[in-house]
Amino acid sequence: MSHYRLYPAYKDSGIEWIGEVPEHWKVISIKYLEGNGANVVQTGPFGAQLHAEDYVDEGVPLILIRNVGDMRIDDTNIPKVSYADAERLSIYRLREGDIIFSRVGSIGRIALCTERENGWIISGQMLRLRITNSFVNKEFITYAFRSSSLLTYIELQSVGSTRESINTEILRNMPLPIPGIIEQKIIADFLDRQTARIDALITKKTRFIELLKEKRQAFITHAVTKGLNPNVKMKDSGVEWIGEVPEHWSIVPLKIIAEIVNGATPDSKNTAYWDGDIAWYTPADIDNTVIKPLSIPQRQITEAGLASCSARLTPAGSIVISTRAPVGSIGVTTTISTTNQGCRSITPVPGMPSMLLASILAAARSELAQRSNGTTFQELSAESLRALRIPLPPIDERLSISSALDRQTARIDHIIEKTQRSIDLLRERRSALITAAVTGKIDLRGSL
């Protein structure tokens, strides 16, 4: 921020988390925005007013927290209510220019409603701020809600015993540093330009990461099904997901080259079974995009917990695969461990590198998904996993393929990590710029 100038004079805001503000700015509560111009509606319909079965395929969109992105509304997978219900719940309908704010869970998600969202309905997860006078720039207020200072205030003021939440009074009493209307617009326009530029860079870099991941998976799939020699003679594997393989390779069921072990869960109410030294993995502990060595799981069990259920220990270097919600997340253990029933452990025979077998399973994800079944959730049975037919190169070739996979994936992963760090820095810069602008830490009056 060093290249932006400061205001000529500052004064103490009287509020610790805001600090100093420009001398001519005011610090006022939301409820005092130009008299009675600000109106807050606490929640939308929920509870007895609206149930999940009231959602329909065609109707009026109902905005949930998941549909509120970074200052905009994402209509992907947005639920809808019938036109009759929407009419009955008309008090919760939005107008262009309304500001909506998440009040529970992911507190602080905010969006400024556009003409497109006219008539949509807020859910019980949202607060609505409707400013009806011409002395406040709504874009400036929306950015102000995105400042780290105000988000800190919200976190400090949030209430609730089971999860964080805010209510109408907290929002109404929120102090806001604010300049005159012309300066508000200057700041909002500046932030529109700068955040759009930063967002474009983030989008470009995010797409680059997606392409790298696609390249990574394509290399893995080719290496484990076609090998490394482009001139080798091929044959039909007889397995649809594999296609052709080198003529000297074998096709075998997974059970031939690995032991597959089911997981289990000790009694969750017995404290003697938990917080021990045994790593106990669940699907939540496994990355669902790339194969990684597994770190310490969220929960660990004791020897007594292990003995109390049908879970079994497997050695370091075993593959853990999620076989329920979702199917096909894969990791490799670095220590002796066990799993819950949502995973299975796969211990390869000597001479079968763990990362190679894990890569073969990653290439078979679509096949594994097709083998899954269930009415409540999809699950891959141990029998189906054991019967999975996979390509198997000779032992010396397994080692060379495994080494090539290690080298190539490490190179791509390094680029992905470096790119992700640059995205994180851009997001930090974006947040810092918004905070500095809306709290008067930089003077933007000459930025037109």
Q: What is the mean pLDDT of each run of 10 residues along the chain (448 residues)?
A: 87 88 92 66 57 76 81 80 81 86 76 87 82 85 82 65 63 87 95 95 97 95 96 96 97 97 95 96 91 93 96 96 91 96 96 96 93 77 95 96 95 96 96 93 84
Residue 92: the pLDDT is 82
Q: 123-138 burial, b if ≥16 CB within 10 A, otherwise e?
A: bbbbbbbbbeeeebbb
Chain centre to alpha carbon of residue 14: 37
Q: What is the pTM of this model?
A: 0.81
d(CA 43, CA 126) in angstroms, rounded, equals 6
Contact criterion met (CB below 8 Å) for 311 and 264: yes
8 Å CB contact between 278 and 313: yes
**Nearest CA among 41, 33, 200, 169 for reference residue 113:** 41
The answer to whether 319 and 346 are in contact (CB under 8 A) is yes
- Domain 26-178 is in which class? alpha beta
Q: Are 55 and 77 in contact (CB under 8 A)?
A: no
CB-based burial of residue 391 (10 Å sphere; 0-12 exposed, 13-18 middle, 19+ buried)? Answer: buried
Q: Which residue spans of the chain are classified as CATH 3.90.220.20? A: 26-178, 228-392
Has domain 228-392 been given CATH number 3.90.220.20? yes
* pLDDT given for residue 277 in this prediction: 95
Q: How many other C-beta atoms lie within 10 A of the C-beta of residue 326?
A: 16
Return phi, psi of residue 6, to 5°.
-95, 165
What is the structure's pLDDT at 47? 47
User: 327-332 and 319-323: which strand pairing?
Assistant: antiparallel
**Strand spans (E) along 196-341:** 234-236, 244-246, 250-253, 258-262, 274-281, 292-293, 299-301, 319-323, 327-332, 337-339
What is the model's pLDDT at position 161?
Answer: 42
Q: Residue 390 forms beta bridges with which residues?
A: 252
